[in-house]
Chain A
Amino acid sequence: MRKLMLALLLATSAANAAAAEQSATTVIPGGKFESVLPPAPGVKEVSLKPFQLDRRPVTNAQFATFLKTQPQWRRDKIAHIFADDQYLSHWQSPAEPRKEDLQRPVVNVSWFAATAYCESRGARLPTWYEWEYVAAASNTARDGRDDPAWRQQILNWYSRSGRDALPTVGSTPANFYGIQDLHGVIWEWVEDASGMLVSSDNREQGDPNVMRFCGEGALTMEQKENYATLMRIAMLSSMKARYTGGAMGFRCATGGRDGK
């Protein structure tokens, strides 16, 4: 079934050249880094294989194109277990975003819908570690997390009300890897958002509930001064896979951990 969808998508890809262009990806070299969430007690570093990541978040225009081939993900057709009532509620119709939103990141999408979109491109959502690894880069350094100025710049996004309109994608400077909009625009779904924090079989991460309230979170998380990342984790842990949010979007990744 999934293969069939992929084939369908490939068949229509020529028509979507413009959209495809915007989902240009960049190769992220593999490496090791220290996550705020240690992979296991006593283990500090996380190793990542090289992978490709979308340079920009997925736009409303791109998501509309996806819905043409997979209309079961339209807001008027989607199964209730895959999305809440806010799903794509900012669109002018079930199939069409408002014109001014076309080049803005798509938001109000559930984890299920984001995953389906990426799969339709033969891709997947990035894992938390992949996202955190790339987002650790400042505009000039591979790891800018210790730079107070960079940290403050990221934090400033949270000092703005969420009522403002979102910017179009690509409006923030490229980071060290050439990736844009990781900070200061939207939250982003990751592949293991639910498994990471809410309910997981992965015992290595310890008590899956630790992040659900900060008193405990503060005991287990590293880099306690890295507020921007802590807030990402808090946000992701508050979301169930069917939830959507007015500032919650995504981008896709390929390759990496399982060679997909």
Chain B
Amino acid sequence: MKRLLPVLACSATLLLAACSQGNSVPVAQAAAPESDTGGSRHGDFGPPQGEPIKAVLTSPPNVPPATQRNYPAKVIVELEVTEVDMQIADGVTYTFWTFGGTVPGSFIRVRQGDTVEFHLKNHPSSKMPHNIDLHGVTGPGGGAASSFTAPGHSSQFTFKALNQGLYVYHCATAPVGMHVANGMYGLILVEPPEGLSPVDHEFYVMQGDFYTVGKYREKGHQPFDMQKAIDENPTYVLFNGAESALTGPRALKTQTNQKVRMFVGNGGPNLVSSFHVIGEIFDKVQYEGGTRFQENVQTTLIPAGGAATVEFHTEVPGNYVLVDHSIFRAFNKGALAILEVAGEQRADIYSGKQLDEMYIGDKMASMAPVAEAVKASSTGQLTKEQQIQAGAVLFKGTCSTCHQDTGQGIPNVFPPLAKSDFLLADKNRAIGIVMNGLSGPVTVNGATYNSVMPPMSQLNDDEIANILTYALNSWGNKDGTVSVEDVKKVRANTKRPEGAAH
């Protein structure tokens, strides 16, 4: 029935427009169902019924069970504010100000129309007074003024949850930015009267930005940096308040063929999140308290002080990475979380890697000379000319990207091989460089280059010998050969880094 409403509403609106010039307008209006669900105007289901219920609060990433109620109740919420030192990154601690001892704070779940009796307790060890502004409250300050609480005290206020939806709550004590930056936010879900559709897993994830005096991952206890916060230049952007909150052993876990629902909030204080799960598409996204949903969403915007409910179905096993797709935040500031999906492979949906081979694009050349050289080498009849021809093919596939087909390199970036004093000076050094790579400054023909050449671990000794023989006899170079024995000698004298191939 609910799904039908928007359709009906649309046709009624059209009808209304079509008739607006006639005198039947009042009739059409009287017949038109409302195009919305009524919001707070329709959220009051009368006085609370039954015995008061103590709300189940959960720590992230857990979500309390559904209320499973079909009547409005009085729900008692007891939330304790504590100021605690916790790890924000490996070896880095921070004094978080918390609702319930965690960042984000405890998840609260009530039903639309419930009367919520809210008790805010401020632990005696707190340095600061605190309060709470719940975005799900209708009333000035969202409860902030009524819940202002000194350390070692508690306050109480009551509100009726008139609007359904997923709402952020946060501390609103001066200086509010600092209270929020220290982790004082969480989510309250006001279920629609009919409840949410059943799913297999519900998770609670909330993004926040953090400002420390020390740099990202600088060890030790890090104080809050006010100037960075004002400049909106966070040191960390995190899901659930710590870099390792949802990774490794603490990763979110589910199986294939499950319906997953995530309640995703953004505490800010400053940044807007481009929330994305790598390798998944959200089948449904409901913004804030929306009664409609958007489908097939890749990335959804979650404003600071806002939230969205995302749902998707798992098909393919593996690790799915939750990120803020403002992507430097993910890889340089910590905005990463992992969802582990266990189950049977589904190669019909996603194959995994099926092929990994050299791609040499339009430089495609016959590999015949290479095969010919290998054959000749095995019988001890390899000629210098064969080496050069095989080396030319291999050079194009392996070396020319940087050193160029002409052997000229790229000025200031990749050194030349053509008439290179560095190359020609020492055959064994050249073998070693191909084998092991080279990084740091070198002087070639009077110019300094400071880049990185990775080890060409994929090349075997024949291939290295042929490539270098080609290089020593091309672009004006006329100097000798490199034999496979030369290469073997260098390899025997080279200490291979651990884990390197060959």
Contact = CB atoms under 8 A, between A and B. Distances in A.
B172 A231 contact: no
Interface stretch (B220-228, B233-241, B331-339): B220-228
A187 B151 CA distance: 12
Contacts of B94: 159
Given A152-B213, A245-B152, A246-B151, A234 B144 contact: no
Contacts of A148: 227
B40 interface: no
B141 A225 contact: no
Contacts of A158: 95, 127-128, 178, 223-224
Contacts, number: 116
A203 interface: no
A234 B225 CA distance: 19
A214 B144 CA distance: 9
B256 interface: no
B102 interface: no
Contact of B127 (A212, A221, A244, A247): A247
Nearest to B151: A245
Contacts of B148: 212-213, 237-238
B153 interface: yes
B126 A238 contact: no
Contact of A230 (B83, B172, B174, B225): B174
A162 B227 contact: no
Label chain B's interface by main secondary structure.
loop
Contact of A213 (B126, B141, B151, B222): B141
Contacts of B309: none
Given A86-B152, A246-B152, A234 B125 contact: no
B85 interface: yes
A243 interface: yes
Given A218-B176, A231-B175, A243-B150, A213 B223 contact: no
A178 to B, nearest CB: 26
A162 B125 CA distance: 5
A71 B176 CA distance: 41
Nearest to B131: A213
A247 B225 CA distance: 23
A5 B131 CA distance: 40
Interface in B223-253: 223-227, 230
A161 B83 contact: yes
B221 A234 contact: no
B142 to A, nearest CB: 9
B26 interface: no
A234 B128 CA distance: 8
Nearest to A217: B174
Contact of A214 (B153, B176, B213, B226): B176
- Interface size classification for chain B: 35 or more
Interface string A210-246: 0111110110010011010011011101111001111
Interface residues of A, number: 41
B255 interface: no
B174 A225 contact: no
Contact of B174 (A161, A218, A246): A218
A162 B129 contact: no
Contacts of B174: 211, 213-214, 217-218, 221, 230-231, 233-234
Contacts of B141: 213, 215
Contacts of A230: 174-175
B226 A246 contact: no
A232 B226 CA distance: 16
B126 A162 contact: yes
Contacts of B444: none
B441 interface: no
14 contacts: A86-B124, A86-B152, A155-B224, A155-B226, A156-B223, A158-B223, A159-B224, A213-B148, A214-B175, A215-B141, A231-B128, A234-B129, A235-B150, A237-B148
Interface of B: 83-85, 94-95, 124-129, 131, 133, 141, 144-145, 148-153, 172-176, 178, 213, 221-227, 230
Q: Which 8 A-B pairs have the closest CB atoms?
A: A238-B129, A159-B223, A214-B174, A238-B150, A214-B176, A162-B127, A213-B144, A156-B223
Given A160-B95, A160-B221, 19 more contacts: A151-B226, A152-B227, A159-B224, A162-B125, A162-B151, A211-B174, A212-B148, A213-B131, A213-B174, A214-B172, A214-B176, A215-B141, A218-B174, A225-B230, A230-B175, A231-B174, A231-B175, A234-B128, A243-B150
